Structure 1
């Protein structure tokens, strides 16, 4: 019989697979993206779908799609997401327009084997009308996503920056093909701690984006671990809710061209999270 006074072994650390968004290498072609993934041990990539420099769009020729899949497969990228820019709560587009775009992205996701399609809330103002608009559209698009083997993932962003905001919408949609992307910067800027955000999003959490910034008031990106975002609290928060998928660096080089390159940011990410140096390239 075990001695009840004996010290208990420390819990085994959880390891999450690393990923990155092509937002961090906006001018890179798929060969460069595959090389970065391979060198940094990243098994997941978020593929931007925003013309003109998005890596993929619903208009990409079939031969290019096939090459993209082949190169990513050979680089060990087993998990892919489409970083779409549909704004599901946007009052400036009709339901039909929104659903047509979501259908196009769903078809593209099936063609490249993407497990999820990131969408934004994008309302002009938060409130019940914005929630209802997002719920209606996500609920209508969900069956096609399920049939295609993918999911629609609402990001904590813009009009719905907090986990509490996204959770209101997701609980009302109540469909297994609709989940959440937790952007840790936006929930923190909304006043939530990582522990609070993780609990609120836990029933729907499919993907996590990490980044760092100067302050709550100043969202300019800085190398992970050098800014004000409490990234060191994220692993414990995810462990507590049983999240076991990817952690993805969203390095906003596209919007801030003056910041360091993606390789340097990848090398900082694991250290900022207190994890094994998975993101650092060999010899870094």
Structure 2
């Protein structure tokens, strides 16, 4: 299993420093938070795009995905998917994360299906997959798969955020069964409880990570999304990286 870091856990940290931390701590990739307040967004110049690619390649770190804030179930969202595809292509990312962001109405599925079908057409031939994260209006595997089954295109898949499917009341086995035909990669994290979702070091909270990771294929990717950006009082991530890597390695080690 290959391991990536989300830059959400390292807010205000320069990209070269993130690349160095990932490499020194034994991770193989990064998920780049893609937002105007960060160093990664569609308005980057070609020169800056090349520089970012060079920075990560020099450290031996893959750019796994762009974690964007497109909301495909929101009819008012105006995110330009082609611009994100261009950025992902220039940076060498294999995935683009999108949110549902619906309003919990009857039309959410239809909006998401329509927009994802259009995004799939735009992604054809790029080698980039657009992944719908289990989140907000479609936080369960069942709800996410319900949309993706209707889209029916290999250019669109699922990003399994294990916190949100758990908060949605699914067991890991139920979530995996729904998401397996569509799965791109998995975001892992840990928290104290459903009421306190402040990020914790992996293995110190209540999320059923062992059960979530057990059915995954050994050649897949896990991304540790430590949401320091939203919880500034959480412990700094750099000091937790090696222990987090070791914990995930134990959970994904082949049975003997």
Normalised by the length of structure 2, the TM-score is 0.93
Q: Residue 78 of structure 1 corresponds to which residue in structure 2? A: 62
Structure 1 distance, partners of 2:126, 2:45, is 19
Decide which structure has the larger Cα Rg and report it.
Answer: 1
Q: Give 1:38 shift.
A: 1.1
Q: Aligned in 2, Cα 1:168/1:61: closer, same or farther, shift over 3 Å?
A: same
Structure 2 distance, partners of 1:57, 1:87, is 16
Residues 18-37 of structure 1 mapped to structure 2, 5 A cutoff: 18-37=3-22
Residue 236 of structure 2 corresponds to residue 268 of structure 1: no
* Conserved? CA contact 2:73–2:102, under 8 Å: yes
* Conserved? CA contact 1:179–1:206, under 8 Å: yes
Residues 181-200 of structure 1 mapped to structure 2, 5 A cutoff: 181-200=159-178
Q: Residue 179 of structure 2 corresponds to which residue in structure 1? A: 201
Structure 2 distance, partners of 1:276, 1:167, is 26
Residue 112 of structure 2 corresponds to residue 134 of structure 1: yes
Gaps of 5+ in 1: 1-15, 279-284
Give the alignment partner of residue 153 of structure 1, picking from 131, 137, 141: 131
Gaps of 5+ in 2: none
Structure 2 distance, partners of 1:208, 1:269, is 15
What secondary structure does 2:110 align onto? helix
**Over 4 Å off, 4+ runs:** none
* RMSD of aligned Cα (Å): 1.8
Q: Give 1:219 shift.
A: 1.9
Give the alignment partner of residue 88 of structure 1, picking from 72, 81, 85: 72
Q: Residue 49 of structure 1 corresponds to which residue in structure 2? A: 34
* Conserved? CA contact 2:113–2:151, under 8 Å: yes
Q: Residue 149 of structure 2 corresponds to which residue in structure 1? A: 171
* Conserved? CA contact 1:107–1:148, under 8 Å: no
Q: Give 1:91 shift.
A: 2.9
* Conserved? CA contact 2:42–2:84, under 8 Å: yes
Q: Residue 68 of structure 1 corresponds to which residue in structure 2? A: 52
Give the alignment partner of residue 188 of structure 2, picking from 210, 213, 217: 210
Q: Give 1:92 shift.
A: 2.7
Q: Give 1:148 shift.
A: 2.0
* Conserved? CA contact 1:207–1:246, under 8 Å: yes
- Comparing 40-49 with 201-210, greater Cα deviation is found at 40-49
What secondary structure does 1:147 align onto? coil
State how many pairs are aligned: 253
Q: Residue 113 of structure 1 corresponds to which residue in structure 2? A: 92
Q: Residue 180 of structure 1 corresponds to which residue in structure 2? A: 158
Q: Residue 224 of structure 1 corresponds to which residue in structure 2? A: 202
* Conserved? CA contact 2:134–2:159, under 8 Å: yes
Q: Give 1:221 shift.
A: 1.6
Normalised by the length of structure 1, the TM-score is 0.84
Q: Give 1:276 shift.
A: 7.5
Structure 2 distance, partners of 1:65, 1:133, is 32
